[in-house]
Amino acid sequence: MGFLGLWRTFNKKTLLGAWIVALAASVSIHADEVNYSKDIEPFLRRNCLACHHSKKPEGGLSLESPGEFTKGGDSGPLVIAGNASESLLVQRVMGTTDSIMPPEGNAVAASHLNSDQVEILSRWINAGARFDPVTDSKERMLRGSSSDAELNSSVKFSYGMGVIAKKNIVVFSRGNDLYMDWTAKGSNPQLLLANAHGGLIHTMIVSPDGSWLATSSHDELVVWGIEFSQFDADEDSIPKIVLREKLTPASFEKDGFRWTEDRISSLAASSDGRLLAIGSGQPSRSGTVSVLEVDSPKAAIRMLLPEIHTDSVSSLAFSPDGRTLATGSADKMIKLIRIESNDGATENFEIIATSSTSRVVKNFEGHTGYVLGLDWNRDGSRLASVGADGTLRIWDINLGESSQTIAVENELSAVHFCDDHRPLIAGTSIDGYLRIFDFDRGEIVRSLAVSSEIDPQYCLSPTSNPLHVLTTGESGVVRMWNIEDGNRLMESAE
């Protein structure tokens, strides 16, 4: 019988106490051998990060950075330096308080920590829970502050992707860098911009006309221009990324109102590229939406909706005509917000902020978990949503209700209406699959594993071809798929 079998057989708290006492005697001998990035981070990333990452921090907890790790989540700090037995992290991975983590039967095949991993983790905590010292800029871990941090080059998480259709180019994030590849051939990604932010890029979007892109890390938003030389007429031309504007929480602050709240968690661009919507919020507290006009060198506030949700705003999507903004939240609600065509940018924050409830056209309720993805069909008559509850829902805008629900029992992260001539929808999942749904028949047409190993997928993007979609996620590898036959058409190198 293994270690986990033993602790389930005996009284778990008694066994834990005896085990920690015995362990403490060996800490002084072996503590120096424990290295966080080498000995601990790999198994935490494999078994914990799928649910505890910055885009959707389950329980308010993200393990992506030492700063977030140290801060802990809704239940408080994870570790008490020098005291493994009283540290919440050890108690949860052993199941001595509440349920064991990762949960039984989880959707990403994450495993319970084995006895060796628990021992290493406890030794590290008892020795002071120290993260690796910063020795070289290319080997830095992500720190809590986004202003003075850099990422280890092995961190390739991609939370953002978009297409410059006229050039057949996909732009995507890897860690805190920006890359591009050609959708016509792939396999040769080019680094466009290193260290776009000090910390991990949490959200990213490319404007529909391919003239700008926006990225965010923590509470910082940057708008970048995308420029091509007039002499670059060939299909292999590489764009130039230039800084247009860097925005912080204080950028539009006035009379106590702030355009963003805590962490930026979602972005959306209107079809004409003039408006950029930003979702943010404090987990389990409130969610704010702001809309900026970005068609000039300096962004201006178009609309500010503080506390429009009761939790972080996890997804956004403009209707095709740009008059309605759909917002999805960790509070499990979807709201349709009216965007007045004659508002114009304004500095009167108070009027905009206090009129936020009057902007809500409809409320859609039905998801039982975070709403992680939204997309409109081409004529704006339907809205698709996916979430942490593992369901795809189709909402009839005119009727104001759900017309179809398809469950997959795995957390769905992004969604896209495909060819308008067929009732097909693409959805990505943290179990590493791209699924094609037929919403008329209410069934899954096909499930495509993106890799031989589990590669949680966070991003889904259309291309100029309605039958082709792009996916990317934890590995930072971009793949293009034909939704009709399920063939993989392109894959970028790692």
Tens digits of residue pLDDT in 110-134: 678 888 888 888 888 888 888 865 4
Do 270 and 283 form a contact (C-beta atoms < 8 A)?
no
213 vs 317: CA distance, rounded Å: 16
pLDDT at 73: 81
Task: Determine the average pLDDT of the residues in 79-94.
Answer: 85
Q: How many CB atoms lie within 10 A of CB 471?
A: 29
The confidence band for 146, taking pLDDT boundaries of 50, 70 and 90, is very low
- In this predicted structure, the answer to whether residue 148 has a pLDDT above a threshold of 60 is no
Nearest 5°: the CA angle 139, 140, 143 is: 165
pLDDT at 119: 87
Distance of CA 10 to the CA centre of its chain: 40
Angle between helices 12-30 and 115-126 (to 10 degrees): 60
Q: Read off the pTM.
A: 0.74
The larger pLDDT score, comparing residue 33 to residue 439, is at: 439
- In this predicted structure, the answer to whether residue 413 has a pLDDT above a threshold of 90 is yes
Element (H, E) at 152: none
pLDDT at 237: 77
141 vs 161: CA distance, rounded Å: 23
- In this predicted structure, the answer to whether residue 225 has a pLDDT above a threshold of 90 is yes
- In this predicted structure, the answer to whether residue 264 has a pLDDT above a threshold of 50 is yes
- In terms of Cα–Cα distance, which of 269, 171, 178, 271 is closest to 217? 178
**Burial class of residue 371 (count of CB atoms within 10 Å of its CB; 0-12, 13-18, 19+):** buried
Mean pLDDT, the chain, rounded, equals: 81
pLDDT at 244: 94
Q: Characterize the bridge pairing of strands 263-269 and 275-282.
A: antiparallel
154 vs 445: CA distance, rounded Å: 35
50-59, 162-171, 399-408: segment of lowest average pLDDT: 50-59
113 vs 48: CA distance, rounded Å: 10
pLDDT at 212: 95
- In this predicted structure, the answer to whether residue 58 has a pLDDT above a threshold of 80 is no
Domain borders along the chain are 3-134, 161-491
The larger pLDDT score, comparing residue 480 to residue 59, is at: 480
The architecture that CATH gives domain 161-491 is 7 Propeller (2.130)
pLDDT at 29: 38
Residue 162 β-bridge partners: 171
Instruction: State how far the alpha carbon of 186 is from the alpha carbons of 167, 443, 458, 479, 492, in Å.
Output: 13, 31, 19, 8, 5
pLDDT tens, position by position, 226-259: 998 765 555 667 889 999 999 998 888 765 678 8
Instruction: State how far the alpha carbon of 386 is from the alpha carbons of 316, 333, 374, 404, in Å.
Output: 12, 12, 7, 12
pLDDT at 349: 56
The larger pLDDT score, comparing residue 405 to residue 421, is at: 405
Tokens of 390: 């593992």
The confidence band for 430, taking pLDDT boundaries of 50, 70 and 90, is confident
3-class SS of residue 115 = helix
pLDDT at 4: 31
pLDDT tens, position by position, 346-377: 555 555 655 566 688 899 999 998 999 999 99
Task: Determine the average pLDDT of the residues in 150-157.
Answer: 62
- In this predicted structure, the answer to whether residue 224 has a pLDDT above a threshold of 90 is yes
